[in-house]
Amino acid sequence: MRGFHALFLRVLGALLITCSRASAGPMSIQDAIDRALADHPSLKTAAARVQAAKAAHRALWESYAPQVTAFGGAQANHINGSTTTTTPGLLGTTSTVTEHFSQSDVEAIAGVNIEEFLFDFGGFTGQRRAADERGGAQKESLATQRLDVEQNVKTAYYGLLLATRLLRFNQDAVEQRQAGLAQIAGLAKTDPARRKDIPQAEVDLADARINLAKSESDFAGAEATFSDALGEPSRSAHSLVDDVTLKTILINREQAVSRALNTRPELAQIQALVRAQQAEVDVAWSSYLPRVSTFFSATSLTPTGGDKTFSQLTVVAGGVKLGIPTTAIVTTDRQRQAEAGLEEAKARERETRQAITLAVDRGFDGLAEAIERISIGQELTTSANQNWEEIQGRYRRGRSTIVEATVAYRFLYDSRVRLIQALYDAKIAEARLERSIGADF
């Protein structure tokens, strides 16, 4: 059974190895990140939101586009009435003459009206500020999405490496249990007392096959997760570089928190939203103030009937319009709503700061725990391997039972699995710490 230990050391000993020998070469962690950042669907969605925010900002200038209204039609006029004329006579008498009249005509009307917005005491500028800040928030949202994609790639990358390592480990375990069963069967030919050990050896082999089946399922799931992290539409096989070397952390917790509060795009995003909401408050306040615009209109009247008092009449008008809203007399709820939104945004900023601080703290704790598990796992593996070799030697000399050998093997198996798990958990914890800071350390 010494071959089992040798195979394990061969798999676990090197910290920088190639998982497979694909002709195109293995994909490094940076290659995977670059691949995901180049074509991940979520990033395209976030980038589209940035473009929409830019368009929304440019669209505000439409307020200054002149509003042109052209009109035309016909006007029918019908006048009925009478006039009375009183004339004084020579002898003090007066004469009264009453004349009745009736007139109908139809006039063609055509004209144009142009209105141009001038200013509104802060409403337009407030909308521009709000649009600018919301556009900046979308840019920070894109940066946040990039960090999320990067972390997801790292987590899936090391998850796939872990699944690959455990799959190979359990494949080797099945081979070793098969060899152990064959060895016991061989010993039973010369020593009939060994026959009672065969059922236990068969159970041990069955357990190894069950573990292998679970590893195969986990490996398939890890491949699918990694493909999804890359933004690929379906599961595919990948060749990865197996490197579990941990980075050197050159900053302490306080420095990490300070850096995170200065670099995390989530905080910059919510700060931009706070400024945007402040601009919305200004817009709401300006809605209660006058709006100034200028206008020009030209109207042409052309009679079409037979009885014409004029051949054509043109009316030209222009001036300045001052619109005075009366909404504030009824209610100022719009402004109160905007102010409530501002308070909510400020509260979210405080929550984000607290969440960032907590995430950095948990990131350090998680990495420290994983490193401690590696240290403990190495000690347990060394102890379990020594115990296994001792029990195996005694079993071959007939001084130990198959049950003792099985217990020793399971102790060795569990300790090695825990060590493998701890190695990759440490790399995942490292990626989470970097994500909590918002940058590599």
For the chain, domains (ranges, CATH) are 2-68+121-289+330-437 (1.20.1600.10)
Structure tokens at 165: 């390592």
Residue 338's SS3 state is helix
Beta strands 291-303 and 241-243, pairing class: unpaired
Segment 220-232, tens digit of pLDDT: 999 999 999 999 9
pLDDT in tens, 53-64: 999 989 988 888
Position 202 scores a pLDDT of 94
Helices (H), 60-122: none
- Gap between the terminal Cα atoms of the chain: 44
pLDDT at 90: 61
Residue 10 has pLDDT above 60, yes or no: no
What pLDDT does 23 receive? 41
Residue-wise pLDDT tens digits, 310-362: 678 899 999 998 999 888 888 889 899 999 999 999 999 999 999 999 999 99
pLDDT in tens, 153-163: 999 999 999 99
Helix boundaries (H) for 191-264:
198-230, 253-263
Q: How confident is the model at residue 5 (pLDDT cuts 50, 70, 90)?
A: very low
- pLDDT surpasses 90 at 440: no
How far is it, in rounded angstroms, from Cα 257 to Cα 262? 9
Q: Which of 3-7, 25-29, 70-74, 343-347 has the lowest mean pLDDT?
A: 3-7
| Residue 309 confidence class, pLDDT cut points 50, 70, 90 | low
CA–CA separation, 219 and 328 (whole Å): 65
